[in-house]
Amino acid sequence: MRITVLAGGVGGARFLRGLLAAAPDAEITVIGNTGDDITLFGLHVSPDLDTVMYTLGGGISEDQGWGRDRETFTVLHELAAYGCEPDWFSLGDRDFATHIARTAMLTAGLPLSAATSALSERWQPGVTLLPMSDDTIETHVVIDDGAGPRTVHFQEWWVRLHAAVPARRIIAAGAQDATPAPGVLAAITAADFVLLPPSNPVVSVGIILSVPGIAAAVRAKTVVGISPIIGGAPVRGMADACLAAIGVPTTAAAVGGHYGADLLDGWLVDEKDADAVAAPELAGITVRAIPLYMTDLQASAEIARAAVALAQELGQ
């Protein structure tokens, strides 16, 4: 069984951990969002790729859901003593090593996909982890904090401003001239089905789908998604702020409708949102209501099992 998953950070990684437990023999390819990537202190940081890699490789901070376990902050503290900016993005010493290793490979001329593959050698995540593109695509957010609209990097809005300033627009800068990384389209085409985990539909899955060629390849497949919205609120993160920027209500039905029947064949919503089964915006999509809180590995595996079962059913 071949499964391809478009994944963001924490939600995607936790779903993938469940998927590996639910389908241990499947050949899983993960297409990771790199729109959140940012250069900090001259180093290339890929938060979503790292969250997947650390989570599946056993190096994640379980408390945070991102970053390394048992972190220390000596390097960051020293950089602050040099007056190096920014001071709003937390990077631990163990995490720094990943960014140093990645940046060294990129500087030596390797594409991000090759660097990701080399880093994954250590973590053995049990999936093939691919960046969505080797080209630079940055998620930018147009905000207006009083002095007129200005464009900031996603991380500045998300981390520094805690997404508290309303986003007017969210842009995948560079996407139109980008191509999918090697293996991305092939992994989608060769998959028995594609899964959209409960990642942020705008700044994670949405950015991946903005890479020319990816959305069309995904639409040609059986696709099952898992709602990141339960009972009118994001399970974690600030997806509501992102949805507001694109005019989509924060409901499981609206997010499924945003993906649309063109893309989605199946849509898993939480039991709280069982009324979505009959929602008009989900016409043409098979909707199932099951418990969607990924409280532990077993819960994540149950969700993944339901997604796989629905995809297999719809793919016949």
- Enumerate binding residues for its own copies (CB under 8 A): 41-43, 72, 74-79, 81-84, 93-94, 96-98, 100-101, 103-104, 107-108, 118-119, 121-122
Rg (CA), the chain: 19
Residue 224: name the closest of 265, 256, 283, 190 by CA: 265
Report, in Å, the least distance between residue 300 CB and its own copies. 27
Q: How far apart are CA 32 and CA 48, in angstroms?
A: 7
Which residue lies nearer to its own copies by CB, 73 or 293? 73
Q: How far apart are CA 139 and CA 308, in angstroms?
A: 30
Report, in Å, the least distance between residue 254 CB and its own copies. 42
Is 155 within 8 Å of 134 (Cβ atoms)? Answer: no
**If you write DSSP's letter for every residue of 215-269 in order, what string do you get?**
HHHHHTS-EEEE-SEETTEESSS-HHHHHHHTT--SSHHHHHHHH-TTT-SEEEE
Report, in Å, the least distance between residue 90 CB and its own copies. 15
Strands in 193-196's sheet, in edge-to-edge order, are 128-131, 27-32, 2-7, 193-196, 223-226, 266-270, 286-290
Contacts of 60 (CB under 8 A, 6+ apart): 13, 51, 54, 66, 67, 68, 69
Report, in Å, the least distance between residue 54 CB and its own copies. 12
Report, in Å, the least distance between residue 49 CB and its own copies. 14
Which residue lies nearer to its own copies by CB, 15 or 41? 41
Report, in Å, the least distance between residue 67 CB and its own copies. 13
Which residue lies nearer to its own copies by CB, 95 or 270? 95
Which residue lies nearer to its own copies by CB, 90 or 189? 90
Which residue lies nearer to its own copies by CB, 83 or 148? 83
Report, in Å, the least distance between residue 16 CB and its own copies. 21
Which residue lies nearer to its own copies by CB, 34 or 98? 98
Report, in Å, the least distance between residue 122 CB and its own copies. 5
Which stretches of the chain are assigned E, i.e. beta strand? 2-7, 27-32, 38-40, 43-45, 128-131, 138-144, 149-153, 167-173, 193-196, 223-226, 229-230, 233-234, 266-270, 286-290
* 306 SS3 class: helix
Which residue lies nearer to its own copies by CB, 100 or 309? 100
Which residue lies nearer to its own copies by CB, 83 or 280? 83
